[in-house]
Structure 1
Amino acid sequence: MENKTIRILKETEALLEGHFLLSSGKHSEGYVQCAKVLRFPDKAAAVLEPVVEKIKDLGIQKVAGPAMGGVIVSYELGRQLDVEAIFTERKDGVMELRRGFEILPGEKVIIAEDVVTTGKSTLETKEVLEALGAQVVGVACIADRRGEGMDIGLPVYASVELFFPTYDPQDCPACKRGEKAEKPGSRGNA
């Protein structure tokens, strides 16, 4: 039986196949464009319900997601958990907590992401939150596509795990065939 999250990602055309340039600079044959599913509030709620089931007993006091991908996810998780939802964002290339958002010392916070691949924005957000005294308890996301052996040092609570092969550009089969990579994400290359 097909996973409910996969079915919803397909229904909303959020699960893409092709040749993609990821924010990490790597290339992939698959991509999850979560904005396509998050545009529907009922579908956003449905894909995040399994995540809420996994994290509801962690004592989370706040949800914080990095902009762009974590903003709506943070909001929906906060709504379902009945806790405050905030977000970090980059200013001059540096991740910050802005807009009057606050972290209280010792507050249990979970980081919200749409997709976790390399963990770059997750770890930047973790650094900001911990510098403000937060106790970061993990990462909650729609799709975990880290692949085997990719440890970001935090527990990851995902609605679905997806394994798309990723390649350095010089090793990418699609590049070798002369295919141009699409850049569907919101962040420039790292």
Structure 2
Amino acid sequence: MDAEILERINRGIIHRTGAYLTNDHFVLSSGRHTQEYVEKALATTEPAFTEGLGDVIAKHFAEEPIDLILTTGYGASLLGHCVARAHPLRPRFIYANKQRDDSGVSQVTLPREFRQYFIGYPKVLIVEDIVTTGETVKGLIKLVKSFGGTVVGIGTLWRRIRKVNFKFPFFTLVDREFPTYTPKDCPMCRRGMPINREFLAEPSPQKSPRVRTRAN
């Protein structure tokens, strides 16, 4: 099947979970406005869909000699577990913890009980749900290397910014970058379309945009 058709099907599946929202007015953490939004917390709420999407990622990496599946975050962990179950080698599933340091930079750390699985220099597949800046994935790559493992690939549901890439084999079910606008250039604001406050993103630590409940 054509890759574009497959991506459209995968996007439709994510839409059915309620995670992909469109034809609305959203404000991102950067303060920019957009008509489309991905609520990653909802992407893995449908077990059957999560299993199916995990199967697709597992099949893509089926020929890779994977020892560990590594993720971070609740949604990505659900997806990663499904990938581990579906991969023919039945790799072990582990997760890292994500936190921000005093300067607001995101970091990942490996729980002590999982460090034993890096004995023997394992081959690791990193699994994420939504990739935006790629900082979490970069942190996981650094973590794997620090424990002597080898990254064999990265699998994800959705890459939101196409210029984000890695020097390892990268597979995403949906590769869609939707347009964003400054408030003064926002076409939804010009039409007087109210902002969807139900899915209002938290402002980033560096920026605290003033959000209107309804466009002027």
Q: Same fold (TM over 0.5)?
A: yes
Q: 1:7 aligns with which of 12, 15, 23?
A: 12
What displacement does 1:91 show?
A: 4.4
- The 2-side partners of 1:83 and 1:75 are apart by 10
Q: Does the aligned pair in 1 maintain the 2:55–2:82 contact within 8 Å?
A: no
- The 1-side partners of 2:112 and 2:77 are apart by 13
Alignment of 1:2-151 (within 5 A): 3-17=8-22, 18-22=25-29, 25=30, 27=32, 28-81=34-87, 82-91=90-99, 93=101, 94-98=107-111, 100-102=113-115, 103-147=118-162, 149-151=163-165
- The 1-side partners of 2:157 and 2:67 are apart by 20
- The alignment's TM-score, normalised by the length of structure 1, stands at 0.80
Output one character per residue of 1:121-146: Cα deviation in whole Å (capped at 9) or x when no partner: 11011111110111012211111222
- The 2-side partners of 1:63 and 1:144 are apart by 19
Q: Tell me which amino acid in the other structure corresponds to 1:155.
A: P
Other structure's SS at 1:38 match: coil
- The 2-side partners of 1:26 and 1:49 are apart by 36
Residue ranges of structure 2 left out of the alignment (5+ in a row): 102-106, 207-216
Other structure's SS at 1:139 match: strand
Aligned to 2:211: none
Q: Does the aligned pair in 1 maintain the 2:51–2:79 contact within 8 Å?
A: no
Q: Tell me which amino acid in the other structure corresponds to 2:147.
A: L
Aligned to 1:158: 172
- The alignment's TM-score, normalised by the length of structure 2, stands at 0.72
What displacement does 1:170 show?
A: 7.4
What displacement does 1:109 show?
A: 0.4
Q: Tell me which amino acid in the other structure corresponds to 2:58.
A: V
What displacement does 1:51 show?
A: 1.5
Q: Does the aligned pair in 1 maintain the 2:17–2:44 contact within 8 Å?
A: no
- The 2-side partners of 1:42 and 1:141 are apart by 17
The higher radius of gyration belongs to 2
- The 1-side partners of 2:187 and 2:68 are apart by 42
Alignment identity in percent? 21
Other structure's SS at 1:89 match: strand
Residues 1:124 and 1:189: Cα distance change in structure 2 (over 3 Å): farther
Residue ranges of structure 1 left out of the alignment (5+ in a row): none
- The 1-side partners of 2:205 and 2:188 are apart by 17
Residues 1:118 and 1:92: Cα distance change in structure 2 (over 3 Å): closer
Q: Does the aligned pair in 1 maintain the 2:69–2:94 contact within 8 Å?
A: yes
Moved more, 116-125 or 1-10: 1-10
- The 1-side partners of 2:95 and 2:167 are apart by 20
Residues 1:7 and 1:175: Cα distance change in structure 2 (over 3 Å): closer
